[in-house]
Chains A and B, each alone.
Chain A
Amino acid sequence: MTLATAPLTTDRPVARRRRVGDALPQIVLAPSFAAVIVFVYGFILFSIYLSATSSRLLPVYDFIGFSNYVRLFQLPNWTLALKNLAIFGSLYIAICCAVGLLLAILIDQKIRIEGLLRPIFLYPMAISFIVTGTAWKWMLDPGIGIAQTMHALGWESFSFTWIKDSEMAIYTIVIAAVWQSSGFIMAMFLAGLRGIDGEMIKAAQIDGASAFQTYRRIVIPQLKPVFLSAFVVLAHLAIKSYDLVVAMTNGGPGRATEMPSTFMYSYTFTRSQMGIGASSAVIMLMMISAVIVPYIYSEIAGEGRP
């Protein structure tokens, strides 16, 4: 095993004699990279191709251009899925950020039981969406859940039937999703708050700012990168959210809580409309790319050049 020396701090090409063993690092990396190229990028290309075919139950290797996309956007189920995603995504992101920031600020006030509270706020993130969905499905169930509890406690007129109501069911998914993710967003904001230079806050105090003003004018504006990270994380989770919907409402009542992910699954695997399913997956990929690609680009290009 002979190895040339690698230029450790630069990524400039190594202009020197090459030996056979010099390629060892690349050889080690190659299986992983090949797997990613085939299973991610190859598959993406394959799905893009399928979206331009008339495949139904099984792939058909013809070419029908964009007709699947045209049909897709004429399907009421798909427009409903997009509308639901818009409602779910915006509420999920907004509420998670609001709750996360509020909790982070509250917990950053020299709270004695911080060590106890933080894990309580965060544990839902360790749980499967299927479990979360199960718990909230029955808790919000008008027959046995909170409504029933209220009745048992004597509040007979209490009624909460959102999960059975096709207009409101999507909001119950927001409730469960916020429960699951907001503690994580709290942790992100808390890390951001603790990274802020204390001297600046002292300076604001000397300038006569109240605590509220200090947060609004000095602290929160400095959390912009955290807001950005939180947005990217939550937006991508929202677009991908599938398990929670399946567990809570399975897309229902009717198709009222259809999301792009459930749409793709049912059109591809139960309705045998593979071409349509593939085109919906491509749209999902495009939505996620719009959020993630700039983020990754800044991450990789922005990090310290030598």
Chain B
Amino acid sequence: MGSLDIVHLKKSYGSLSVLDDISLSIEKGGFLVLVGPSGCGKSTLLNTIAGLEPITSGEIRIAGQDVSGLKPADRDIAMVFQSYALYPTMTVAQNIAFGLEMRKVPKAEREAAVKRVADILQIGHLLDRKPSQLSGGQRQRVAMGRALTRNPQVFLFDEPLSNLDAKLRVDMRTEIKRLHERLKTTVVYVTHDQIEAMTLATKIAVLKGGVLQQFGTPAEIYDNPANLFVAEFMGSPSMNLVKGKVDGDGRAVTVARASDPLRLPVRANRILAGYAGREIIVGIRPEAITDPRTDNGGDPSVVVSDFRIDVVEPTGADVYAISELGGRQAIGRCSADYPVRAGEVSRLAVHTSKIVYFDPESEERIA
């Protein structure tokens, strides 16, 4: 296993830039997830790491070695494709062994390698079948098996779960996580699903329009999104982004409501002195607007207020309470047994310590 470093990588087609000065690195054994909406460049970035697409400038280092001039087969990587890309005319065993065969590994060793990954992935009984005889989940396993045989420096996954149905997707996600923990492999994983990103990653890179928006641990990305795009993209339901006005001393923000305005104190380490008196965007995660619990009585960072509830959406585990905040619909997340009803007024607690603030022009996070 090896580390991966991407240094000032640029890729453009003529004047059209598709990847703009991207620098990232993931340590040996880390799990890097590239996430973003479709067309953000995440798959292109993965393909440049794989060597399937050329880069315009910059460097890609695998285990410290610059591989940007090498062809895919010489980069010591393996890849799991979105469509699985299993060779239709070969059996599962032949598919898995093909990469070794191309590298002129002796037959006995190939057979041993096939057996090893078949055991890891529990696909021993499928080895003689053709890909067309497999279910979606089985094809997925074979595709991973093909990548696993070679013990490469880095594994690349290109949206590997997007062709599976919802239930299987969750199972395979867990399995990939377990596999990673067991094998301690370095992984680069592309997805558009932010839940996959959060659950699997040790580091997440959020991309949009070929530009790296934020690079950090899942917790950093979730708690301190770098800008409005990341804030909105990561988390489901999305972070509430409402207009608020900073008080004179920058120690509180007031958010207008149809009823009374809501005044939210600013955490001591986030004082917005520079924005005193100006309008900003306030970002509050749904779980930070919740039912008041007895154990946060007296905590000055928790503001309890009456909210007029417009819509209630029970999900089973939680109840989403939707009410107007700063001219927009804001979602709060309460426990299922909390009695909120549409059209009525409920008391909700706002945990202000989890609030983040954005500049409305630059859309960057201020604090």
A–B interface present (Cβ within 8 A): yes
B interface, over-half SS: loop
Chain A hits for B13, CB < 8 A: 10, 12
Tell me which residues from 67 to 108 in chain B have a Cβ below 8 Å from any Cβ of chain A. Answer: 69, 71-72
Chain B hits for A2, CB < 8 A: 71
* B69–A5 CB distance below 8 A: no
Residues 1-13 of chain A: 1 if any B CB is under 8 Å from the residue's CB, otherwise 0? 0111101101010
* B69–A17 CB distance below 8 A: yes
Chain B hits for A17, CB < 8 A: 69
B122 within 8 A of A: no
> Given the known A-B contacts A12-B13, A17-B69, are A5 and B56 also in contact in the complex, defined by CB atoms under 8 Å?
no
CA distance A8 to B72 in the complex (A): 14
* A3–B71 CB distance below 8 A: yes
Q: 5 nearest interchain CB pairs? A: A16-B54, A12-B13, A5-B52, A5-B71, A17-B69
Residues 10-36 of chain B: 1 if any A CB is under 8 Å from the residue's CB, otherwise 0? 000110000000000000000000000
Chain B hits for A15, CB < 8 A: 54, 56
The minimal Cβ–Cβ distance linking B189 to chain A, given in whole angstroms, is 21
CA distance A161 to B208 in the complex (A): 78
Chain B hits for A7, CB < 8 A: 53-54
Q: How many A-B residue pairs have CB under 8 A?
A: 22
* Count of interface residues, chain B, beta-carbon cutoff 8 Å: 11
A150 within 8 A of B: no
Tell me which residues from 1 to 40 in chain A have a Cβ below 8 Å from any Cβ of chain B. Answer: 2-5, 7-8, 10, 12, 14-17
Q: What are some 9 contacts across the A-B interface (CB < 8 A)?
A: A5-B51, A5-B52, A5-B54, A5-B71, A7-B53, A7-B54, A10-B13, A15-B56, A16-B54
Q: Which one of B14, B52, B69, B71 lies within 8 Å of A8 (CB-CB)? A: B52
Chain A hits for B72, CB < 8 A: 5
* A14–B52 CB distance below 8 A: no
Residues 40-74 of chain B: 1 if any A CB is under 8 Å from the residue's CB, otherwise 0? 00000000000111111000000000000101100
The minimal Cβ–Cβ distance linking A18 to chain B, given in whole angstroms, is 11
Chain A hits for B54, CB < 8 A: 5, 7, 14-16
CA distance A7 to B55 in the complex (A): 11
Chain A hits for B56, CB < 8 A: 15
Residues 176-205 of chain B: 1 if any A CB is under 8 Å from the residue's CB, otherwise 0? 000000000000000000000000000000
Residues 109-129 of chain A: 1 if any B CB is under 8 Å from the residue's CB, otherwise 0? 000000000000000000000
Given contacts A5-B71, A8-B52, A17-B69, 17 further A-B contacts (CB under 8 A): A2-B71, A3-B71, A4-B71, A5-B51, A5-B52, A5-B53, A5-B54, A5-B72, A7-B53, A7-B54, A10-B13, A14-B54, A15-B54, A15-B56, A16-B54, A16-B55, A16-B69
Residue of A nearest to B71 (CB): A5
A interface, over-half SS: loop
Chain A CB count within 10 A is highest, among B51, B69, B71, for: B71
Residue of A nearest to B54 (CB): A16
The minimal Cβ–Cβ distance linking B323 to chain A, given in whole angstroms, is 43
CA distance A162 to B350 in the complex (A): 98
CA distance A4 to B52 in the complex (A): 9
Chain A hits for B71, CB < 8 A: 2-5
CA distance A17 to B56 in the complex (A): 11
The minimal Cβ–Cβ distance linking B28 to chain A, given in whole angstroms, is 26
CA distance A144 to B52 in the complex (A): 70
The minimal Cβ–Cβ distance linking A23 to chain B, given in whole angstroms, is 15
The minimal Cβ–Cβ distance linking B96 to chain A, given in whole angstroms, is 23
The minimal Cβ–Cβ distance linking A58 to chain B, given in whole angstroms, is 53
Chain B hits for A16, CB < 8 A: 54-55, 69
Chain A hits for B14, CB < 8 A: 12
Residue of A nearest to B69 (CB): A17
Residues 38-73 of chain A: 1 if any B CB is under 8 Å from the residue's CB, otherwise 0? 000000000000000000000000000000000000
The minimal Cβ–Cβ distance linking B247 to chain A, given in whole angstroms, is 53
The minimal Cβ–Cβ distance linking A116 to chain B, given in whole angstroms, is 32
CA distance A7 to B44 in the complex (A): 11
Residue of A nearest to B11 (CB): A15
CA distance A10 to B55 in the complex (A): 14
The minimal Cβ–Cβ distance linking B102 to chain A, given in whole angstroms, is 12
Chain B CB count within 10 A is highest, among A2, A8, A16, A17, for: A16
Chain A hits for B53, CB < 8 A: 5, 7
Chain A hits for B55, CB < 8 A: 16
CA distance A2 to B73 in the complex (A): 11
Chain A CB count within 10 A is highest, among B13, B51, B54, for: B54
CA distance A10 to B53 in the complex (A): 10
Tell me which residues from 241 to 271 in chain B have a Cβ below 8 Å from any Cβ of chain A. Answer: none
The minimal Cβ–Cβ distance linking A120 to chain B, given in whole angstroms, is 35
CA distance A17 to B14 in the complex (A): 17
The minimal Cβ–Cβ distance linking A25 to chain B, given in whole angstroms, is 14
CA distance A10 to B44 in the complex (A): 12
The minimal Cβ–Cβ distance linking A96 to chain B, given in whole angstroms, is 39
CA distance A2 to B13 in the complex (A): 25
Chain B hits for A14, CB < 8 A: 54
The minimal Cβ–Cβ distance linking B43 to chain A, given in whole angstroms, is 11
The minimal Cβ–Cβ distance linking A102 to chain B, given in whole angstroms, is 40
The minimal Cβ–Cβ distance linking A231 to chain B, given in whole angstroms, is 38
Chain B hits for A3, CB < 8 A: 71
The minimal Cβ–Cβ distance linking A180 to chain B, given in whole angstroms, is 38
The minimal Cβ–Cβ distance linking B44 to chain A, given in whole angstroms, is 11
The minimal Cβ–Cβ distance linking B15 to chain A, given in whole angstroms, is 12
CA distance A104 to B215 in the complex (A): 61
The minimal Cβ–Cβ distance linking B100 to chain A, given in whole angstroms, is 19
The minimal Cβ–Cβ distance linking B278 to chain A, given in whole angstroms, is 45
CA distance A8 to B47 in the complex (A): 11
CA distance A10 to B72 in the complex (A): 18
The minimal Cβ–Cβ distance linking B46 to chain A, given in whole angstroms, is 14
The minimal Cβ–Cβ distance linking A21 to chain B, given in whole angstroms, is 10
The minimal Cβ–Cβ distance linking B159 to chain A, given in whole angstroms, is 16
The minimal Cβ–Cβ distance linking B331 to chain A, given in whole angstroms, is 39
